[in-house]
Amino acid sequence: MRKTTEGKKARPAARARLMAAIAVCAASALALEPPAAFAATDPIAAVDNLSTFIFGLIRSVGLILLGFGVVQVGMSLKSHDPSQRANGFLTLAGGVVITFAKEILDIIVG
């Protein structure tokens, strides 16, 4: 039986592709590594920044609900559907409460 050289030629090409894939993965892992984050000297400032960020996200959700409520009320006025109008006003009220949640909490806490 004769041995073919096709298997030997394919092996170095497969190894080269594997090594290239490993190099690309390593380079992208190093490039996408997040920078080292150091804690602020004042831990209260870090908590305040996190609180501001979270309340910003909550405000954006509230604004989305507010817009959806306006659209729902408008569509209910067009179609003369009282149940949709009630749901629209409830969504509108919920959006207002969620949008101004930080201010409401500040008033409650004092």
Rounded alpha-carbon distances, angstroms, from residue 69 to 12, 27, 37, 73, 103: 63, 48, 40, 6, 21
Per-residue CA distances from 88 to 4, 59, 71, 98 (Å): 75, 19, 8, 15
* Cβ partners under 8 Å of residue 72, min gap 6: 84, 87, 88, 91, 92
Per-residue confidence (pLDDT) for residue 39, from 0 to 100: 59
> Mind listing the pLDDT tens digit for each residue in 37-64?
665 577 788 888 888 899 999 999 999 9
Report H helices in 80-100: 82-99
* Mean local confidence (pLDDT), 7-31: 74
* pLDDT at residue 44, as a whole number: 84
pTM, two decimals, is 0.57
Q: What is the mean pLDDT of residues 71-91?
A: 90
**Percentage of the chain modeled with pLDDT above 90:** 35
Could you tell me the residue ranges of all domains in the chain?
A: 1-33, 42-109
Q: What is the pLDDT of residue 3?
A: 57
How far, in Å, CA of 73 to CA of 98, rounded? 18
Residue 9, pLDDT score: 55
Q: What angle do CA 43, 49, 53 make, to 5 degrees?
A: 145
Predicted local distance difference test score (pLDDT) of residue 80: 87
pLDDT of residue 68: 92
